[in-house]
Amino acid sequence: MMLVGCGRPMLLTPEKTPDAIVNTIAIAWKEKAEAARAVTAAMPLLKRAKKVIVLSVEEHANQAAACSASAEHLASQLARHGMNVEARGLVAKSNAGADVLVESAKQSGADLIVSGAYSHSRMRELMFGGFTRRLLAACDVPVMLLH
């Protein structure tokens, strides 16, 4: 896949052209290198956004507090750059983490979702699917991805 090998962020857009992508930006946050690289690459857009929302999804039982704390930590770092930012820990039901994240982003009026991509092995992604694939399937707003 081109996304994994290009080393640059990719902006994927839905068929309907959005009016703007920097009013409200949602970050799909997980303490992984791919997510950190995506946030770093998106900094010029994040600095221009009117509002930034850090969304972290609990994918495993009993990790809600850790997800919320991680999102809060990133939000506080972004706030130091003068951003209007908030954090939300979300709880996934079954394997629908990406669906929960997309729904929360939509309810928040997000114009863009920034996300790391494909943190699992290619074999695991092919066999079981993954968050990135589900995010792209469920989303009808632009998504900025970086592996």
Core vs surface per residue 77-94: b (16+ CB within 10 A) or e:
ebeeeebebbbbbbebee
Whether residue 8 contacts residue 146, with contact meaning beta carbons closer than 8 Å, is answered with yes
Rounded distance between C-alpha atoms, residue 145 and residue 115, angstroms: 5
**Angle at CA of residue 141, ends 146 and 90, nearest 5°:** 75
Q: Which carries the bigger pLDDT value, residue 1 or residue 96?
A: 96
Question: What per-residue confidence (pLDDT) applies to 16?
Answer: 80
Rounded distance between C-alpha atoms, residue 60 and residue 50, angstroms: 32
Domains of the chain by residue range: 20-146
Q: pTM value?
A: 0.85
pLDDT, mean over the chain: 83
Q: Which carries the bigger pLDDT value, residue 143 or residue 81?
A: 81
* High-pLDDT (> 90) share of the chain, %: 43
Architecture of domain 20-146: 3-Layer(aba) Sandwich (3.40)
Q: Is the model's pLDDT at 122 over the cut of 60? A: no
Whether residue 119 contacts residue 29, with contact meaning beta carbons closer than 8 Å, is answered with no
